Chain A
Amino acid sequence: MSIFDKLGGKKDEKPKADFSNVRSGSSSTAAQPAPPAPIPSPGSSVGTTGTDQTYTVVSGDSLSKIAKRYYGDANQWHRIHEANRDQIKNPDLIHPGQKLRIPGA
């Protein structure tokens, strides 16, 4: 029995392999999925930062719906209307692709 064995070690025990600096990557012929449309949840920080945001109108939107998304209250639609008077003549008529300024709280 060797001294090594007496000390409780194993002669053939390999040191643990080190993978701390492994570099990795990937690429694909496939496109990456389109990022989801930014739809803030009611009560998120959007309404509390005090900074304006830009929102692009999509099909099926109304000022009430957008107000509900950003402020959590559909009745706040007039704030968005006021901030976009230059491009919204009729608050019942907004168009997909229109970029609206959403005033912060």
Chain B
Amino acid sequence: MMQYSKRISLSLCLALLVLAAACTAKSANDTVGTSGAAVKVTDVTLGRSVGADKAIADKTETFAPNDAVYVSVATDGSSPSATLRAKWTFEDGQIVDESTRAIAPVNHERTEFHISKPDGLPAGKYKVQVFLNDQASESKDFEVKAR
């Protein structure tokens, strides 16, 4: 009789353990599902031009003053409305430009921002910061060198 009670207790304990494990697994899956749907920046690349797919065709981080500077931002995830912002700054802290683009991304998308200056960008070091929904995502440094 004593042995029978022990077996019952052991079975109950095992059942509880299995139940707890199942609950943990369920909540872990929920987290993955939620984050999987959210939009996130997966890649930021600099270059002199972009293709029709908005990916950089000519990657570089060193530019001539008369080059256009492109930054291509890859995003993954879907949302009916998200905003991407590119903030370009010069080495002395001056804001060169700040552009925002509203997007409704579906899975993998690419968005490009670019700057240029008709009389040439001043030589020096620059930074472009990318924000997704006003949250800083990634930044890239580049340099403009006079020929």
Interface residues of A (CB under 8 A from B): 16-19, 21-34
Q: A17-B122, A21-B119, A28-B101 are in contact. Are A33 and B94 (CB under 8 A)?
A: no
B126–chain A nearest beta-carbon distance, Å:
10
**Segment of B4-12, B23-31, B108-116, B133-141 engaged in the interface with chain A:** B108-116
Q: What 0/1 pattern do residues 18 to 52 of B give for CB contact below 8 A with A?
A: 00000000000000000000000000000000000
Q: A17-B90, A24-B97, A24-B99 are in contact. Are A29 and B122 (CB under 8 A)?
A: no
CA distance A28 to B85 in the complex (A): 12
Q: A17-B90, A19-B94 are in contact. Are A34 and B80 (CB under 8 A)?
A: yes
Number of interface residues of B (CB under 8 A): 36
Cβ-based interface call for B54 (8 A): yes
Flag if A17 contacts B94 (CB, 8 Å).
yes
CA distance A7 to B48 in the complex (A): 44
In the complex, 22 of the A-B residue pairs with CB atoms within 8 angstroms, ordered by the A residue number, are A17-B92, A19-B90, A19-B94, A19-B95, A19-B117, A19-B122, A21-B118, A22-B97, A24-B88, A24-B114, A25-B113, A26-B99, A27-B54, A27-B111, A28-B54, A28-B109, A29-B53, A30-B103, A31-B106, A32-B102, A32-B103, A32-B104
Q: What 0/1 pattern do residues 62 to 96 of B give for CB contact below 8 A with A?
A: 00000000000001000011101010101010111
Not counting A27-B112, A31-B104, A33-B104, a sample of 8 additional A-B residue pairs whose C-beta atoms are within 8 angstroms of each other reads: A17-B92, A22-B117, A26-B99, A27-B54, A28-B103, A28-B110, A29-B111, A30-B106
